[in-house]
Amino acid sequence: MQLFFFYFFLLVCCGAVAVRAWAGCQRDRDKDHRPRENCTALGFSDVPRGFEPTTEVMLLPYNQFTSLSWSSFQIFTKIYEIDLTGNQVPDVPPSVAPVLPSLRVLRLGSNRLKSLPEGSFSACPALTELYLDNNGLHALSNHSFSGLSKLEILDLSNNHIAKLPELMLRPLLVFETLYLENNQIKVMPDDWFGPKEEVPYLYLSANPWACNCSLGYFHRYLGENEFNFYVRDGLIINNDAESVVSPTNRKRQRNKQERLTQKGL
């Protein structure tokens, strides 16, 4: 009899946990047990209605969003993560109020972003991770990330950024990881990292860094923090301070190295 109740319990419990689909999305939980909807590649151009307001993770990658509306996520009062990777969002709408105060992770990689005006993320001031890779970003402002005092990870890789605004990193008080590979950056403004504690993970490779006196600050910073510079290849991450050396300079160094080796030094 006890066994019967045990099986009965299993049936009831696991029936409730089993995946339920809404609008074709899969409902489950993320690794930290947050209620998640997975609506990957279902052709949506807006957030479908009818989801549980308790949803905390909304995955909408590879859909047809042509704009981002903060308020359409407002029904999820505890929203933690929004994934809009691979949509066609052309800009981040300005907001004066923190519309999504609980949002921690925002993924907007592979969209059509071109610029990030001042206060672009005022709608979600609690962000800790922001992914903006593989867009057409070329214009950033000193205040693009203002208000994001909790931001730890910022991914700006694979864009067209040519100029680093002098004060861009100042609002980021607990910043840990910066991905800036594959842009058009030649110069780092003096004192760019400011007075903050060192940033432990920096990915600055594949930029045409100039090799002249304008790089004095960067050169010193690199010398003092060489163990914080990395390159990544898929999931493989390596410490490599030389990755930020411009290609011509790298060649010169290699030649020098070879000459020294030939000389048996």
Ligand X SMILES: *[C@@H]1O[C@H](CO)[C@@H](O)[C@H](O)[C@H]1NC(C)=O
Positions in the binding site for ligand X (CB under 6 A): 38, 40, 59, 141-142, 165-167, 186-187, 210, 212-214
Q: Please choose, from the candidates 143, 178, 173, 174, the residue with its C-alpha nearest in 3D space to the C-alpha of residue 159.
A: 178
Q: Let me know: does 231 contact 240? Beta carbons within 8 Å.
A: yes
Q: How far is the CB of 208 from ligand X (least distance, A)?
A: 8
Look up residue 50 and give its DSSP letter: -
CA–CA dist 143, 145 (Å, integer) = 5
Give the nearest distance from C-beta 39 to ligand X in angstroms: 8
Measured CA to CA in angstroms, residue 110 lies from 15, 91, 129 at distances of 37, 12, 16
Tokens representing residue 198 in the block:
């060192």
**Least Cβ distance, residue 2 to ligand X (angstroms):** 37
Provide the minimum distance between the beta carbon of 171 and ligand X in the complex, in angstroms, as a whole number: 13
Rank residues 17 and 97 by Cβ distance to ligand X and give the closer one: 17
Query: Helix, strand, coil: what percent of the chain each, to 5?
Result: 20, 15, 60
Name which of 59 and 169 has its Cβ closer to ligand X.
59
Residue 122 neighbours by CB under 8 Å, 6+ apart: 94, 95, 96, 97, 98, 146, 147
Q: Which is nearer to ligand X, 3 or 19 (CB)?
A: 19
Tokens of 220: 């010193």
Which residue number, 20 or 259, has a Cβ lying nearer to ligand X?
20
CB of 60 to ligand X, least distance (A): 10
| Minimum CB distance to ligand X, residue 59 (Å) | 6
Among 59, 48, 57, 58, residue whose Cα is nearest residue 22: 48
Nearest CB to ligand X, comparing residues 59 and 123 = 59
Q: Find the shortest distance in angstroms from Cβ 46 to ligand X.
A: 19
Contact 160, 133 (CB under 8 A): no
d(CA 238, CA 255): 23
Of 93 and 117, which has the nearer Cβ to ligand X? 117
User: Minimal CA–CA distance to 60: which of 77, 78, 73, 74?
Assistant: 73
Residue closer to ligand X, measured from CB, 1 or 213: 213
